[in-house]
Structure 1
Amino acid sequence: MPTFDYSEFPTLRTERLVLRELRGSDAEDLFAVRSDPYVQRYNSVPHTDVSESAEMIERLTELFAKHEWIHWGVALRENDKLIGLYSLGWNEGHRRAEIGYDLNRAYWGKRLASEALGAMLAFAFDVLEVNRLEAQTIADNHESTRLLRKFGFQLEGVRRGYSLEEDGEFHGGAIYGLLRSEYEGGQA
């Protein structure tokens, strides 16, 4: 059985990134991610003030304290600048987790999303010993679906007309899953 007990925040390191605990001082950098209408077009209403991002950091920190979710601030190793937010909600009893991710658009196309996701998947499978990871995304969010497929996630279904988005259209909600046996079979 997994031994993770939430007593200490799990910091993850990659070649170029640190996935770390969010801090109040990250509010402006988080605002840069959460206020971008293009990044948030299939996620949530964009933030309009940095105070919303500061409040979000407080809420996400509380979820970790309640042992419900882990929200990592994705920061550059070179200067600790926050460029994204990755999350994992773990159901210990069923040994599964749900993941989510946001990355500042200025850092797209540099393989940083893949680098951060790879670290989070290794943590989920190796430390938490999950059997299943899943991600929910809008089917038309091609950046997100491409990232998931790259790591072997399989489309398990689309809930038609699931989400009314900023473009005024209803979009299908796609569910992707990755099993431990598929993960161990090789990664991107």
Structure 2
Amino acid sequence: MIDFDGFPRLTTDRLVLREPVTTDAADILVFRSDPVAQRYNSAPLRDLDESRGLIEEIRDVYANRAGVIWAVTLTETGRVIGIFGFDGWDTYHRRAQVGYDLSRDLWGRGLATEALAAILAYGFSELGLHRVEAQTIADNEESVRLLGRLGFQREGTRRDHSFEEDGLFHDGAIYGLLAPERP
């Protein structure tokens, strides 16, 4: 079980997942201000102050022992290209919710699968999770494919769950992955 004395650092073939820091604000602003990348997510960030505020929120999740959210960086450049992690961590029920953002210029290269696989392995082995949940807009095809590649099963639909930038309500899809089912 995690001791919260030091932030966990994960590495993969192409990525380093590390603690987000205030100096990451400009990199994070690039993908969190992109209206296309954020079309099924939170409202796009508008400036560096909002980006720094997001980093503080992320750091608070860890400080409050409610989850672990990593800054995902490319090994070769150190540039922050995404934010992946767990929140809503319930230690008694051994479950957490996973979330992810990846810079749109890197979509389709397998980086989201690589990062998500790394944090799932960490969650099941180090956090002792039995269940990981994911929520996405049902017509977010990229997210649905990502979850499917990693073994998540669709468990339900929340009709007209979110009002999006296109001026329409969209269904929300709920996915789950249990420890014994993981690939």
Give the TM-score range, shorter chain.
over 0.9
Partner Cα separation in structure 2 for residue 48 and residue 177 of structure 1: 32
Partner of 2:25: 27
Partner of 1:121: 120
Partner of 2:90: 91
Secondary structure, counterpart of 2:166 in structure 1: coil
Partner of 1:11: 9
Partner Cα separation in structure 1 for residue 100 and residue 167 of structure 2: 23
Where in structure 1 are there 5+ consecutive unaligned residues?
none
Residue 58, structure 1, aligned to residue 59, structure 2:
no
Partner of 1:142: 141
Partner of 2:39: 41
Partner of 1:81: 79
Secondary structure, counterpart of 1:122 in structure 2: helix
Partner Cα separation in structure 2 for residue 63 and residue 20 of structure 1: 14
Partner Cα separation in structure 2 for residue 79 and residue 169 of structure 1: 38
Partner Cα separation in structure 2 for residue 175 and residue 44 of structure 1: 17
Partner Cα separation in structure 1 for residue 93 and residue 31 of structure 2: 32
1:118 deviates by 0.6
TM-score, normalised via structure 2 length: 0.97
Query: Displaced runs of 4+ in structure 1, greater than 4 A?
Result: none
Partner of 1:174: 173
1:55 deviates by 1.2
One-letter amino acid matched to 1:177: G
Deviations 1:146-168 (A, max 9, x none): 00011110000001111111101
One-letter amino acid matched to 1:165: E
Secondary structure, counterpart of 1:158 in structure 2: strand
One-letter amino acid matched to 1:137: T
Q: In the comparison of the two structures, how many residue pairs are matched?
A: 182
1:5 deviates by 2.0
Partner Cα separation in structure 1 for residue 74 and residue 58 of structure 2: 20
Partner of 2:164: 165
TM-score, normalised via structure 1 length: 0.94
